[in-house]
Amino acid sequence: MESTESSQTSTPELPPNLSIEAVISGLASDLESLRSGRISVQQAQAAANLGKQVFNGMKLVVSARKMLSDAANEVPKVESDVPSGD
């Protein structure tokens, strides 16, 4: 089981296909495919709209983390007399 401290400070990992680099690379690839005629304008628009939604979601996560971080108060460490069992 994960400790409370690490679970509070850890960031969930995204699947590799949802990383910023992967989304940008995919959109760039779609643009090349559109220019070469391998995909239609409608397919390129659909991919661009999906990419836009991914970035909107990322923006919400960044904004929420900033808001929570700005509002957070530092909690002083409490020393315990109870042995940890180590």
- Kindly report, residue by residue over 18-65, the tens digit of the pLDDT: 788 888 999 999 999 999 999 999 999 999 999 999 999 989 989 999
Q: Phi, psi (5° rounding) for residue 19?
A: -70, 160
CA 83 to chain centre: 39
Q: In this structure, what DSSP letter does residue 37 have?
A: T
For range 11-23, the mean pLDDT: 77
pLDDT of residue 18: 72
Higher pLDDT, 23 or 1: 23
> pTM (2 decimals)?
0.61
Beta strands in 1-86 (DSSP E): none
Q: How far does the chain reach from its first CA to its final CA, in angstroms?
A: 16
Q: Evaluate if residue 73 carries a pLDDT over 70.
A: yes
Domain ranges of the chain: 16-68
